[in-house]
Structure 1
Amino acid sequence: MTDCVGELAAMGIDVDTSTRRRAEYSFDASNYRLPPLGVIFPRSVDEVVHTVRVCAAHGVSVTSRGGGTSLAGNAIGRGLVLDFSRHMNAVTSVDESARTACVQPGIVLTELQRHIQSATAGRLTFAPDPSSKSRATVGGAIGNDACGNHSVRYGRTSDHVVALDVVTAAGHRLTATGDGVHATDPTDGSAVAAAAQITADLRALTGEHLAEFRLELARFPRQVSGYHLANLLPENGFRVARALVGTEGTCAVIVGATVSLVPVAPSAMLLCLGYADLVDAARDNSLILRYSPAAIEGIDSLIVDTVRHLRGPDSVVGLPAGNAWLYVDIDGEDRAEVEARGADLVADLQRAGRLVEARVVADPTERASLWRVREDGAGLSARLVDGGESWTGWEDSAVAPDQLADYLVAIKALLAEFGLTGVMYGHFGAGCMHIRIDFDQRTEQGREIMSRFIRRAAELCVRFGGSMSGEHGDGRARSELLSLMYSPAIMAAFSRFKRIWDPLGILNPGSIVDPEPLLDNLSLAGVDGRDWPTSFDLTPSHHVPVAPFVHAVQGCIGVGRCRAPSGGVMCPSFRATGDEKDSTRGRARALQEMARNSPTVADGWRSDDVMESLDLCLSCRACSTDCPVGVDMATYKSEFLDHYYSGRRRPLSHYSLGWLPTWLELITRAAPLVNLLTRGRMGRVAARMGGLTPHRTMPEFASAGRIRRELSAAGTDGDVVLLADTFTRGFRPEVAGAAARVLADAGMSTECRTDACCGLTWISTGQLSKAKQRLAKAAEVLDDGTDRPIVVLEPSCAAALRKDLPELIHTEAARRVARRIRTFAQMVTECAENGWRPHHRLPDEVTVQTHCHEYSVFGAATQRRALEALGVAEVREATGCCGVAGNFGFEPDHYDVSMKVAEQGLVPALRDTSADAPVLTDGFSCHMQVRQLDADRSSQHLAQLLDRSADG
């Protein structure tokens, strides 16, 4: 195998065989783990051709990969993994008149849809929309024959594939079309001969199995298991391209695709239907289908409860009464006709007697909230409110839609027989159910139960005439079971089809044909059972037989939302680099390998691989909210850094910025002199001495006199505790004065406290002993026996006191203080709800850079809610991290990434903000980044905007 890598390197093809990279690509979103030999990020079709030819010569397997979101284990392999998402991700052309687009395999589906809608002025789109569409790629959708939420209307990916450009296992470039297979380059004689031979072999295969293909394949819309050989039948036109869809990379490497586009309906309406349970909902399936909906999607209350637990009570809005819900999307050319059809449907459902309540979801925010719950289903159902876990394995079965209710009754009975719990959601209109089950994969007994259940479930599905895969593919999860579903003749035809394309068996071996046992290579099996003591309390509420730290990092199940190029805040460093290493998932995988103590990532807390993986993590905390499973990488990074640097010399920035509260106590006494020394050339020298980048403008330190003057606006006793945190005192004490005046105007007296520190700078740099000292003192002084709100002006300090304090200081006092913490925006919202309004006119337009820590700990809409409650008409949000994130943006090695992160949300927002519109930056890091980006633009804290004295 090393000869293979060496030969490719000699050709100029970069094969990453580092232990860290192999750890990242040992997993997809399934239950499986398989470390590869190495990873390649192809830049061209020629690189793919050379790679496949060299691998064939050396007997090394090749696995194609897009977003790595496979739930069946078909995006991992022992040989070389080709990740197309990084470079081969372009739309090469859009032909609106022909309604087609030519694309490379690595483009993310939402990016493809955005490009097409832009190119056609919103008239056309690419229809398949799986829930993972924000990170899944076209190549992956073709590999699995993915479907999505609107498959009732638009079918599967195979229904939208016109032609596929592929590289065969022999290294030939061929194009499969709707009526055959041809050489991509007709002047390439060997490719022409290969196409002719494959064509002859495929026609012979079809001719010998006409009856079996007609009787056993393509019986209902979601029959995805196995190969789609019915497309080769004469009556279907010998559609070789569609026969290759769903082959999971086992027959050819896809390097390009021509896909068909569909018109976007001018009018659409979302109906949300509430039911007592999912079985009742499924009973109405046939009735709803009579009204030609574009989508019928189902979820149950377990998922909704999890969302609200993870993201707050306002994260799911618009649901009618019930314990299970259907989303029914009705569309058409005419709005009135769509509304009438919806009203008729609801009336029919009410007459049927199972519907509890129906709502037309007209508000765009409510619609987005509801669809996000459905689209995050795979992750949300993995870790539930009670701390329990659920896993894939039997998550993708499908039956004919009119059989779904009876199938659900039977599968629920089977779950009860085995003492298992299944969290259910899915594409009801297509009869496809996603069921995540609380299998215990960590113990031999649990794995044995899992194996027996899956086999029984497969037999049950076959009795209903169903398919074991409805869109996720067979992969390592179901390929072993295909003989239960298909006759020996069909199984032989599958094997022969693969050999026609891949006679050496080097393309993604282990899936569909010649599968490995479904319990082999489970990622949770064989994990080192040792304890991993941590400062943070990571103990799960639900008992699991592993150390709390191991359980925490195993929370990442690979759904890959952190790889989404837009939406939410997570993960800013991945969006800046496009490297799996810099995604939350990539970091979690490195930590999981560390916890496994595998040869891939060795040395435990001293692992340089993990250190490298965590290097560009901004500790923005967004993953703790945006990740459907709630992976909290900022906490894991802090814990890791604490152990990694134990007894070692740290970077200079850990001493300069990490100890900032201590230095500020000294600097305020000589602030004018220090400010003079930190300007100009001397400032750059001082920055280098402190391990900081000379490219960033240094902040001005507040003098002791200035701090005293500003804090005098607050009293020594009051209804509210106003905590003047380190950043507010040290850099902008005027914010504390403004906040005290605003709260006084709202009828609340304030007590200003300056004697508590949240320890944030020590937490973010992993100096947890010092952080705990500060936090213990904070808990002691702030736990005053009252329930008064503690208003913290710096959002990151508020987040540390709300979240980190009880996780690091395990006392009732710490928990009491944490419950009392408010951000200033939260307090303003409470005042507005009680009738208070500022006496001066607020601007009609405000741009807000919400601090990432406020976003993740207190809610994404905290700032918006406060401003809208006070009557601000237009609130423009710079959605995303500002890029500074505490010490990160001040460190020399991180400055460039910091500025790239700013380009994601903050820079466009500033560009769209008029010169006279206020820019709010409650977070000091955000304030500094705005200053860095535009020296002529000032930004202010919400308290300053609301302070009437600011008007003069």
Structure 2
Amino acid sequence: MSAQTIELLPVHDLVGELRGAIEGEVSDAAGRRALYTTDASNYRIVPAAVVAPRTTADLLAATEIARRHGIPLTLRGAGTSIAGNAIGPGVVVDTSVHLNRILDIDPAARTARVEPGVIISSLNRAASPHGLRFGPDPSTHMRATIGGVLGNNACGAHGLAYGRAADNVIELDVVDGLGRRFTAGDGLDPVPGLANLVSANLAVLRTEFGTFGRQVSGYSLEHLLPENGAGLARALVGTEGTVVTMLEATVKLVPAAPAPALVVLGYADMASAADAVPALLPFRPLAIEGLDARLVEVIRRHRGAGAVPDLPAGNGWLLVEAGGADAAEALENARAIAAAGGTSAVRIVPAGTEASALWRIREDGAGLAGRTPQGRQAWPGWEDAAVPPARLGAYLREFETLMRTHGVEGLPYGHFGDGCIHVRLDIPLEADGTALRSFMHDAAELVVRHGGSLSGEHGDGRARSELLALMYSSEALELQARFKALFDPDALLNPGVIVDPAPLDAGLRRPAARPLPAAGGFSFAHDGGDFTRAVHRCVGVGKCRADTGGFMCPSFQASKDENDVTRGRARMLQEMANGSLIAGGWDSAEVHDALDLCLSCKACSRDCPAGVDMAQYKSEVLYRSFRGRLRPVSHYVLGWLPRWAKVAGIAPRLVNAVAGIGPLRRLGMRLGGMDPRRGMPAFAATPYRSRKRRSPHRPAAGTPVVLWVDSFSDSFHPDAVAATIAVLEDAGYSVRIPDEDLCCGLTWISTGQLDGARRRLAKLLDALGPFAAAGTPIVGIEPSCTAVLRGDLVDLFPDDARASAVAGATRTLAEALEAAAWQPPRRDGLEVVVQPHCHQYSVMGFQADRELLAQAGVRVTELAGCCGLAGNFGMELGHYETSVKVADHALLPAIAQMGEDAILLADGFSCRTQASQLAGASAVTLAELLDPRRA
């Protein structure tokens, strides 16, 4: 049943009945449906309605109502399915919102009973006090759900040790397409006719299914064989929601390895690394992963050289994890593996931060591999084919030849110990799916020649189901169709997948999106000057959904709503570019609603492995939507804050006094589009420039450096300017301060007033450009303003060489002090709670600051997460509650736990304001903390 067919059905009756029957959320609104049109795949199918069941009873009701209306139902977890497994034309059910409870953990039996929306890492955290974990660990384990893992029969890096998801399931509580609810375990009795189907097809089952460990394509019917225990639960794993709907699962838990060691082996290329795998398998390693030099180079470009620990010589590497009863035994096993690796390029890395950094490369591979070294978009599709490990080297060599023949490039990596290879390819998809179909067909024939599987852990979905006819005989295909018919004869469960498949080039998302060329705002030069290409950087990996305690994505951490996460916003913008479901273009209410709670923290620009910069996209949307039109009043008040601050600087004491009168302040805040619960930040009694006019700064002798005094530091925190000068001079710099009032236009950028921002930056370029051209460093004070010079400046002036020069010359204070090899004054034992500014973390990085604090001898508690104010965001009406929830994530708990003599360090004006307004805490800047004049 096509998406177009469903659109014509009377779905309002269905939606009304769903709303009356379940406690959870039901929506057929265009904006909500837009969020669920795609997963992490190339495909786009518009659902008729989206349901987020609150209870198992809700889920049962949803399945029954959809069945009675004859409308398809597709189950979805985190939406990270790469093959188009979790999208459908009827009712899409999101289990991740509410059905995410761990119902029971039995340490003695080593089992857990869970709902389908439980995130793998959440289960592992709950099991870790017992020394246990769930075995399968896909790279998306921080956001992937149990339901998705079981649906796709996922494995992950440690599948070598713990097997596939099918090997880790005990029982499934399910309901099938006929509305029958039953418990599937071992035994075929719950399904009438299943035992007869098995007994009549023993030869096919024994010869075509389960031929090697990573044969995941199609249904895993080998588990139904009598010699395999007639494992119905195991056979249902990997059916991708096409046979039953999972209500609960009882899964195995395994002992967690206490201190595994990592062996890194270097080879001439990936195929040579693959050749070495069979010799390593007898040592029973926990994992054998493969890395390609091309992927490592992309990581270095994206995150800097420091993101990649030292690797032994080579262009292809194996990461081999060795376990043991303790660290000593793990190292002993690691040495034995290294000796058998057939290479002298070896490193053994004990458990710890360096080993974690190497594993992080693998975990982020799906996103980072989304761009070739030349910057071209790479797509999933032929994403995780697998062959028997003994054939892996030969397969890789032929696969490289196949890529050259088709003129495509990819960054292969994967689970070499299991023969499973992940790769994304720069197949041209903007026009149509012709090239995709041609490559996929040839790649399928290649993997079948090597006795392999089209999929090794991600399932077939819409990407590969059509190709099953190349892998299985007609008898095996008919057997799978008859198996599905026993459970879902009307084909209402996730139609178009595995049985009666949709064409692999149908419903492609990218060809349906219209170009949106740059139009006077940001250049999007890194995406060919096209906004559509920029937003299609998001391929749905979903790292922004991971609750890792980091910076991305603060609004999702507060709301847990797909509408408020980077991926959801990108999906809405992609739908805007498509223009069929979201038809309002730049003025679309759905688009503005999705962007409303984006804090513009820019954390996605660093943490998103695909390089999404939602802050920039939001600014561009606001620019195009309001250009030449009346804007919200907050854009004039907060967006022009440096302008008003300059006026307030004429009589700051009077302004502060008026702002201190409660009723007047609240009225003024509301009239200015701000939340009256907020306070007005106090203006400095004497702005820095007023001080400078009265007592001009005379540069000391030393290495010249330009100190750029931004509007916030000048008007609100001039003491930080004085402290910065003192520290720089102590480090041997001769500090020059331009006489001009130079604004970076940050507040204009965040409110989408890009023409105004460009005017201010043009003036800044006139003043700072000559210094940059002469090689003089430019030191910023306020992190968000410094980040504009390092990032947005070049995007707003792509053809101005001065912009690149200024960006290259701009430094944070810590970076300038690091370059001078300055030794900070000792602050031994001082307890410091550090709130890094999001823009510093995202654009410049915090490593230099971190090292400087360590040299000063302070005891640091470094927070990971946004403060929640985020410039104008937390001040605006409608954002207060979200702002406070974000602050509750890290900042407010840390302040509450601070010792009496502890110091809060926050270089960002927003961070200091949030701490003051919500917790009554004062904060200092890095310069003030390390000021040599400070006692």
**Contact 1:41–1:86 at 8 Å: present in 2 too?**
yes
Candidates 420, 427, 433, aligned match of 2:421: 433
Name the aligned partner's letter for residue 832 of structure 2.
V
* C-alpha displacement of 1:402: 1.2
The 1-side partners of 2:569 and 2:344 are apart by 44
CA distance in 2, matches of 1:713, 1:465: 79
Aligned partners of 2:70 and 2:492 also within 8 Å? yes
Deviation at 1:363, TM superposition (A): 6.8
Q: Deviation at 1:748?
A: 1.0
* Residues 1:266 and 2:258 are matched in the alignment: yes
1:940 paired residue number: 924
Structure 1 unaligned spans of 5+: 182-194
SS of the residue corresponding to residue 512 of structure 2 reads: coil
Gaps of 5+ in 2: 1-10
Aligned-partner Cα distance in 2 for 1:618–1:89: 27
1:483-522 aligned within 5 A: 483-522=469-508
Report the equivalent of 1:820: 809
8 A Cα contact 2:372 2:409, kept in partner: no
Q: SS where residue 649 of structure 2 aligns?
A: helix
Deviations 1:29-72 (A, max 9, x none): 11111111111101011111111111111110000000000111
Amino acid at match of 2:199: G
Aligned: 1:113 with 2:138: no
Aligned 1:841-880 pairs, distance under 5 A: 841-868=827-854, 870-872=855-857, 874-880=859-865
Asked if the contact 1:710/1:737 (under 8 Å) is kept, the reply is: no
Q: Secondary structure at the match of 2:260?
A: strand
Q: 1:8 aligns with which of 18, 22, 30?
A: 18
CA change 1:839–1:420 in 2 (3 A) is: closer
- Maintained 8 Å contact 1:855/1:862: no
CA distance in 1 between counterparts of 2:89 and 2:393 reads 40
Q: How does 1:7-406 map to 2 (within 5 A)?
A: 7-12=17-22, 14-118=25-129, 120=130, 123-180=131-188, 195=190, 198=191, 200-349=192-341, 352=342, 355=343, 357-362=345-350, 364-406=352-394
Distance 1:705 1:939, change over 3 A: closer
Deviations 1:56-110 (A, max 9, x none): 1111000000000011101000001000001111111111011111111111111
The whole-number CA distance in structure 2 between the counterparts of 1:343 and 1:55 is 57
Question: What secondary structure sits across from 1:64 in the alignment?
Answer: strand
What's the CA shift for 1:752? 2.0
Q: Which moved more, 1:56-65 or 1:264-273?
A: 264-273
Shift of 1:532: 4.8
* CA distance, structure 1, for counterparts of residue 688 and residue 451 of structure 2: 78
Superposed CA deviations along residues 555-600 of structure 1, whole A, max 9, x for unmatched, are 11111111111153111101111111111111111111111222x1
SS at match of 1:205: helix
Q: What amino acid is the match of 1:792? A: G
SS of the equivalent of 2:525 reads coil
TM-fit CA distance, 1:533: 2.0
Any idea what the Cα deviations from partners look like across 1:732-786, whole Å, max 9, x if unmatched? 1000000100111111121123521110000000011111100111111111242
1:425-460 deviation line (CA, Å, top 9, x unaligned): 10000000112111111234xx32321221111111
Q: How does 1:304-703 map to 2 (within 5 A)?
A: 304-349=296-341, 352=342, 355=343, 357-362=345-350, 364-444=352-432, 447-529=433-515, 531-540=517-526, 548-598=530-580, 600-681=581-662, 682-703=664-685
Is residue 896 of structure 2 the alignment partner of residue 907 of structure 1?
A: no
* Residue in structure 2 matched with residue 186 of structure 1 by the alignment: none
- 1:455-487 Cα shifts (integer Å, max 9, x gaps): 111111111111111000011111111121112
Q: Which residue of 1 aligns with 2:5?
A: none
Q: Per-residue displacement from partner, 1:692-715 (whole Å, max 9, x unpaired)? A: 112223211013366544795843
Q: Provide, for residues 246-266 of structure 1, a one-character-per-residue CA deviation record: whole Å limited to 9, x for no partner.
A: 000001111111111001122
Aligned to 1:768: 754
Does the 8 Å CA contact 2:364/2:609 hold for their aligned counterparts?
A: yes
Aligned residue in 2 for 1:189: none
TM-superposed CA distance for 1:683, in Å, is: 2.4
Give the C-alpha shift of residue 112 in structure 1: 1.3
Please give the secondary structure, in 2, of the residue aligned with 1:102: strand
SS at match of 1:734: helix
C-alpha distance in 1 between matches for 2:563 and 2:212: 41
Q: 1:892 to 1:900 in 2, by over 3 A?
A: same
Secondary structure of the residue aligned to 2:901 is: coil
Residues 81 and 458, structure 2, Cα contact 8 Å, conserved in 1: yes
Is this contact kept in 2: 1:581–1:587, CA < 8 A?
yes
**Secondary structure at the counterpart of residue 655 of structure 1:** helix
CA contact (8 A) 1:294 1:330 kept: yes
Secondary structure at the residue paired with 2:104?
strand
Partners of 1:164 and 1:177 within 8 A in 2: yes
Query: What TM-score results when the alignment is normalised by the length of structure 1?
Result: 0.94
Deviation for aligned residue 1:839: 3.8
**Residues of 1 paired with 2:637 and 2:611: CA distance?**
31
Q: Secondary structure at the match of 1:773?
A: helix
Using the TM superposition, give the Cα deviation of residue 913 of structure 1 relative to its aligned residue in structure 2, in angstroms.
3.1
Give a deviation string over 1:163-185, Cα, whole Å, max 9, x none. Answer: 1111222333321113356xxxx
Within 2, Cα distance between the matches of 1:318 and 1:153? 26
Cα distance in 2 for residues equivalent to 1:620 and 1:172: 48
Contact map agreement 1:48 1:167 (CA 8 A) in 2: no
Counterpart residue number, 1:929? 914
Does the CA-based 8 Å contact 2:188-2:195 persist in structure 1? no
For 2:823, the equivalent position in structure 1 comes to: 837
Using the alignment, how far apart are the partners of 2:886 and 2:85 within structure 1? 32
Mapped partners of 1:554, 1:629: distance in 2: 9
Name the CA shift for 1:949/1:450 in 2 (closer, same or farther; >3 Å).
same
1:788 aligns with 2:781: no
- Report the counterpart of residue 185 of structure 1 in structure 2: none
Alignment CA distance shift 1:529-1:634 (3 Å): closer
CA shift, 1:281, in A, is 0.6
| Aligned residue among 789, 797, 801 for 2:785 | 797
Shift of 1:382: 0.8
Name the stretch that deviates more: 475-484 or 649-658: 649-658
CA distance in 2 between partners of 1:140 and 1:378 (Å) = 17
- Aligned residue identity for 1:551: R
Give the aligned partner of residue 916 of structure 1: 901
Answer whether contact 2:72 2:91 (CA < 8 A) is retained: yes
**Among the aligned pairs, what percent are the same residue?**
47
Alignment partner, residue 715 of structure 1: 698
2 CA distance for matches of 1:494 and 1:270?
Answer: 41
Letter in 2 for 1:290: P
Q: CA deviation at 1:510?
A: 0.5
CA RMSD of aligned residues (A): 1.8
Moved more, 260-269 or 506-515: 260-269
Matched AA of 1:135? R
C-alpha change, 1:476 and 1:244, in structure 2 (3 Å) is same
1:890 and 2:875 equivalent? yes
Deviates more, 1:635-644 or 1:518-527: 518-527
C-alpha displacement of 1:853: 0.4
Deviation at residue 550 of structure 1 after TM alignment: 1.1
Change (3 A) 1:489 1:646: same
- Note the C-alpha offset of 1:422: 2.4
Asked if 1:809 corresponds to 2:797, the answer is yes
